[in-house]
Each structure stands twice: as C-alpha cells, then as structure tokens.
Amino acid sequence: MKFWRSVLAIAYKDLLSEMRTRETISSVVVFALLVIVIFNFAFGGNTEQMRLVAPGILWVTFAFAGVLSLTRAFIPEKEEGCLDGLMVAPIGRDAIYVGKMLSSLVFMLVVEAIALPVFTLLFNLDVFSPELVVVTLLATVGFVAVGTLFSALAVNTRAREMVLPILFLPVVVPVMIAAVSAFELALAGESWGAMSSWLQIIGAFDVVFLVVSYLVFGYVIEQ
C-alpha cells in the first residue's frame, strides 16, 4: 500500500508541476506536429505514397517526441537536487521508477492523443479504430518502460541529450517494427486476428522490460 502511495505521490508531483507551466508538453506537441508536416513535404504530397508511408511517419514522430519528453524526465530532478531528496525520503527506489514511468506514460499519451487526430486529418486517413488506440497504448508503455530507465542513466553522463537516443532507439526497434506493421494492417482494414503476432511482440516487450527496468533501476540512481 505504501508503495502505491509513494508511486502516486511521485507521479502526481510530476504531472502537477507540468500542468502549472505546460512548457514541456506544448513544445513536444508542437514538435510532433512540425515533424508530421515536414514529412508531408518530404514525400511530395502524392496521396498514394502517403498512405504507404503514413504509419512509419507517425511512429518516427512518436519515437522522437518520446525521446524529447523522456530527456526532460530526470533533468529537473538532477539539477534541482530533487533526486537526492527523493532518495533520502523513505521511498523505495522501485517506487521512484514506477512513479516516474507513470508520469511519463501519461505525458506521452496526452501528446499522442493530440497528434493522432491531427495526423489522420492531414493524411486524409478515414480510419480511427480501437485497434490503433490499443497498439498506441501498448507501444507507449514499452517506450516508457525502457525510456525511464535510460533517462535516469543519461542524465548522469556528459552528453545527456545524445546519450538517451543512442541507448533508447536501438533497444526499442522491435516495438517500432511491430507498431508500424500493426498500423499498416489496421489502416488496410484488417482486424485483431491479422495483427495478433505484432501485438504479442509488443506485449512481450512490455512485460519483459517493465520487469527488467524495475529490477535494474536501483543500480542506476544509487550514490
């Protein structure tokens, strides 16, 4: 019980401080929209081509927006000395991980909730199905599970904004492949059965990395 209270306290603190300033969420949302628009120009506006590459564009956008928002997850903790405060408090390391992860998850889901409708609008895709939502949710959990761990690590290195993508993007390749493929299937009108193997991959990734990151997080923030 104490664990969950600490978790919610940490997540609430993050979300509250974000709601007050709204600086990061607005910049990440703007970034995501800009990326989508630029990709549109890059592909020359040929609608047939667009339909083919749309899932890829969307997930690249989400991956970069994710890196951007995860980078900021631990920087204030480090700079304001908040992390030391958290560690001294009677809160387990694991609660810090789960709390941070949950706040990052909510954050990313908000960004995606804004970007996804805009995306379907700009690309003239008339499909907005539950399959897309579920895939997005599962994939984001995977991003955040690994990203929170690596963000805490990156913040203690010399080139922290560069280190996070170098760590994060290769590890997250399976999620990217699966999410894009599932989106391709969903946009082609297929239903759950066709994309079941992709969902299994994302699901397995989520479970494995939630557990592994949870176990290993303590080693990253100690001392």
Partner 1 sequence: MDRRLVLRLGLVGLDLGLLIGGLYMVLVYVPTAKDMGVVQRIFYLHVPLAWVGFLAFFVVFVGSIMYLWRRGRHWDIIAHSSSEIGMVFITLMLVSGSIWAKAAWGAWWIWEPRLTSSLVLWLIYIAYILVRSLTPEVERGARFAAVVGVVGFVDVPIVVLAVTLWRTHHSSLIIFEGGVAPAMMATLMVCLVAFTILYALLLMQMAAIRRDEEELARLRVILR
The footprint of partner 1 (CB under 8 A) covers: 146, 149, 153, 156-159, 163, 166-167, 169-171, 173-174, 177-178, 181, 197-198, 201, 204-205, 208-209, 212-213, 216, 219-220, 223
Beta carbon of residue 212, minimum distance to partner 1 (angstroms, whole number)? 6
Please identify, using beta-carbon distances, which residue of 89 and 204 lies nearer to partner 1. 204
Nearest-approach distance from CB 173 to partner 1, in angstroms: 5
117 phi and psi angles, rounded to 5 deg: -60, -45
- By 3-state DSSP, what share of the chain in percent is helix, strand and coil, each rounded to 5? 85, 0, 15
Nearer to partner 1 by C-beta: 82 or 194? Answer: 194
- Find the radius of gyration of the CA atoms of the chain: 18
Closer residue to partner 1 (CB): 32 or 172: 172
Q: How far apart are CA 37 and CA 34, in angstroms?
A: 5
Measure Cα distances from 195 to 182, 191, 201 in Å: 6, 7, 10
Instruction: Kindly tell me which of 11 and 178 has the beta carbon lying closer to partner 1.
Output: 178
CB nearer partner 1, residue 121 or residue 159: 159
CB of 138 to partner 1, least distance (A): 14
CB of 196 to partner 1, least distance (A): 11
Say how far apart CA 61 and CA 55 lie, in whole Å.
Answer: 10
Name the E strands within 49-137: none
**164 closest CA partner among 104, 121, 103:** 104
